[in-house]
């Protein structure tokens, strides 16, 4: 090819433009970089939920619809993870179960909606129908009907709340369960059971003597406790219906802190029958099957691991009361706490990972929690009087404990980290709570 001089060729003129064009087009591609951000902090905001007033089938309101609505809202707040939206903000009121305008609930940023009807039936009964909707997807998440005696409406609310928590949190709630405690005058306490919101209260013992430190059988059918009914503090048992009150120990010594094994066949307890307070195991007839400890110091407050292989207890063998753990099969003991003063009243979490206990610190008893291997002791209460006898809910998300504080003494329920501490109504004179299993 012969190169020609002179006028520039037309394509040379375009060439520069083409190259420039390509450069501009490809520039963003070369600078390609997407910024990736990981958010793994737990969102601590409470989940907004709307609970419009329940109605009868024909759209009316009565005392029962109001009671059910009130308790439902109260239990949602008690659950500690929901924010019940103020009724005044609701854009849709007094509509039945059908034809929900979800846009009106989304507008007030209710992420979930509870609707329901309470219809009186014959024989003092009522049909309670409750539904949970996801307002984003407009899906029905839970729909349940309960036929209950009108006075037992809390049972319907508890069962539904547990289902609601299963749908929204992935784990069933603990509302349909009972707490047992010793209530009344300080030297004549009786054994009571009640739900975590204070409803469904019933009395199990009617003695003239004092009854303390009750503990649930794992099936929820019975309670074991220390009673002074036979003058000496002996271990007794009674059914949840108040029947079958009978002594298990008859040794005329001090017998304390009974604890049912997870399979329900044995009870661990502390007894001074040998002259020194030691831990023993007995069967349900009261026959001692095993002496667990043999030291010259006090061993008390036993609690079982959920698998029944270990017992955590408080012992003075190291000077002050400290927590120790025993392998039940081999009897080998290892020490859990080295910090703290008067560490006592341990309770093992249902998942087996945590142990909650009481310790005296800064002049008061407070609650602490640690890993089951004794690591990572963290504080739950402070500057709120004395807080004692902590016990886990069956789902492990809540605790109950007794508290003597200025704001009101009694049994408190809170989230496991101490959030949302609420006095259970009607428990002002109660101590030594123990949270029982879920009921059917």
Partner 1 sequence: MSFKKYLWISVIFHGGLLLFVLFGPGLSNLFPREKKVTWIKLSKGTGEFNNASPYKKTTNMPKNTLREQKNIKEKTKDKTGSDKKSAQGVKKKPQPSAQKKKKQTSTPIKKAPEDKAIEDALARVQEELKQRQVDLEAAQVEKEGGGQSPEGSVDVTNGETNPEIVMYVTTLKKKINDEWVTLPKANAEGTSLVTVISFQIDAQGAIVTTQVETQSGDVTFDLLAQRAIERAAPFPSPPDIIREEALSEGFSIEFNPRSVVDTGTQ
Report which of 419, 397, 369 is spatially closest to residue 175, judged by C-alpha positions: 397
Question: Three-state SS for 75?
Answer: helix
Name the segment binding partner 1 (CB under 8 A); options: 119-127, 210-218, 364-372, 432-440: 364-372
- Told to check if 377 binds partner 1 by CB under 8 A, we report yes
Q: Which is nearer to partner 1, 329 or 376 (CB)?
A: 376
Residue of 48, 308, 385, 425 that binds partner 1 (CB under 8 A): 48
At closest approach, how far in Å is the CB of 382 from partner 1?
5
Question: Three-state SS for 166?
Answer: helix
Residues 224-253 that bind partner 1 (CB under 8 A): none
- Told to check if 78 binds partner 1 by CB under 8 A, we report no
- Told to check if 39 binds partner 1 by CB under 8 A, we report yes
At closest approach, how far in Å is the CB of 37 from partner 1?
5
Provide the mask over 153-172, with x wherever binding to partner 1 is found by CB under 8 A and - wherever it is not. ------------x--xxxx-
- Told to check if 9 binds partner 1 by CB under 8 A, we report yes
Q: Which is nearer to partner 1, 35 or 88 (CB)?
A: 35
DSSP H or E segment with residue 23: helix 10-30
- Told to check if 84 binds partner 1 by CB under 8 A, we report no
Residue of 6, 28, 319, 363 that binds partner 1 (CB under 8 A): 28
- First CA to last CA across the chain, in angstroms? 97
Phi-psi category of 264—alpha, beta or left, where left has phi over 0 and alpha has psi -120 to 50? Answer: left
Report which of 231, 230, 259, 262 is spatially closest to residue 247, judged by C-alpha positions: 230
Number of residues in contact with partner 1, rule: CB under 8 A? 69
Q: Are the C-beta atoms of residues 180 and 190 closer than 8 Å to each other?
A: no
Q: Which is nearer to partner 1, 38 or 329 (CB)?
A: 38
- Told to check if 332 binds partner 1 by CB under 8 A, we report no
- Told to check if 381 binds partner 1 by CB under 8 A, we report yes
Report which of 150, 170, 171, 183 is spatially closest to residue 71, judged by C-alpha positions: 150
- Locus of tokens 């009121």: 93
Name the segment binding partner 1 (CB under 8 A); options: 149-157, 266-274, 331-339, 401-409: 331-339
- Locus of tokens 């043999």: 294
CB-based contacts of 184, cutoff 8 Å, min separation 6: 190, 429
* 356-383 exposure pattern, b = at least 16 Cβ within 10 A, e = fewer: bbbbbbeebbbbbbbebebeebeebbee
> Which residues are near partner 1 by CB under 8 A?
9-11, 14-15, 18, 21-22, 25-26, 28-29, 31-48, 81-82, 111, 134, 136-137, 165, 168-171, 335, 337-340, 351, 353, 359, 361, 366, 368-371, 373-382, 416-419
């Amino acid at each position: 090819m012969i190169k020609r001089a002179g006028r520039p060729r037309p394509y040379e003129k375009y060439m520069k433009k083409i190259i420039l064009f390509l450069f501009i087009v490809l520039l963003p591609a070369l600078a390609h970089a997407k910024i990736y951000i990981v958010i793994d902090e737990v969102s601590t905001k409470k989940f907004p939920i709307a609970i419009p007033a329940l109605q009868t089938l024909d759209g009316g309101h009565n005392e029962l619809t109001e009671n059910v609505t009130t308790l439902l809202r109260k239990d949602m707040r008690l659950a500690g993870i929901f924010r019940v939206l103020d009724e005044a903000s609701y854009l849709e009121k007094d509509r039945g179960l059908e034809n929900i305008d979800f846009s009106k609930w989304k507008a007030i940023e209710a992420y979930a909606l509870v609707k329901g009807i309470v219809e009186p039936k014959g024989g003092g009964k009522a049909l309670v129908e409750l539904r949970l909707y996801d307002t984003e997807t407009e899906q029905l998440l839970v729909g349940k009907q309960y036929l209950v005696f009108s006075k037992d409406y809390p049972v319907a609310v508890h069962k539904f709340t547990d289902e609601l928590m299963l749908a929204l949190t992935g784990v069933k709630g603990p509302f349909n369960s009972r707490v047992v405690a010793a209530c009344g005058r300080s030297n004549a306490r009786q054994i009571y059971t009640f739900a975590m919101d204070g409803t469904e209260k019933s009395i199990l013992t009617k003695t003239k003597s004092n009854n303390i430190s009750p503990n649930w059988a794992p099936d929820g059918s019975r309670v074991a406790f220390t009673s002074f009914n036979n003058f000496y503090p002996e271990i007794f048992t009674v059914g949840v219906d108040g029947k079958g009150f009978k002594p298990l120990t008859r040794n005329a010594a001090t017998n304390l802190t009974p604890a049912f094994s997870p399979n329900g066949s044995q009870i661990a307890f502390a007894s001074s029958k040998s002259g020194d307070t030691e831990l023993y195991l007995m069967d349900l007839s009261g026959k001692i099957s095993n002496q667990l400890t043999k030291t010259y110091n006090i061993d008390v407050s036993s609690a079982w691991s959920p698998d029944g292989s270990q017992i955590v207890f408080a012992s003075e063998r190291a000077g002050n009361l400290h927590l120790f753990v025993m392998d039940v099969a081999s009897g080998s003991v290892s020490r859990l706490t080295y910090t703290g003063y008067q560490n006592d009243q341990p309770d093992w979490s249902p998942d087996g990972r945590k142990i909650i206990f009481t310790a005296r610190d800064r002049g008061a008893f407070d609650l602490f929690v640690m890993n089951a291997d004794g690591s990572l002791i963290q504080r739950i209460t402070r500057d709120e009087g004395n807080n004692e006898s902590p016990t886990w809910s069956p789902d492990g998300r809540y605790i109950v404990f007794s508290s003597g504080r200025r704001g009101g003494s009694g049994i408190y329920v809170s989230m496991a980290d101490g959030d949302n501490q609420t006095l259970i109504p009607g428990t002002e004179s109660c101590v030594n709570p123990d949270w029982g299993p879920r009921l059917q």
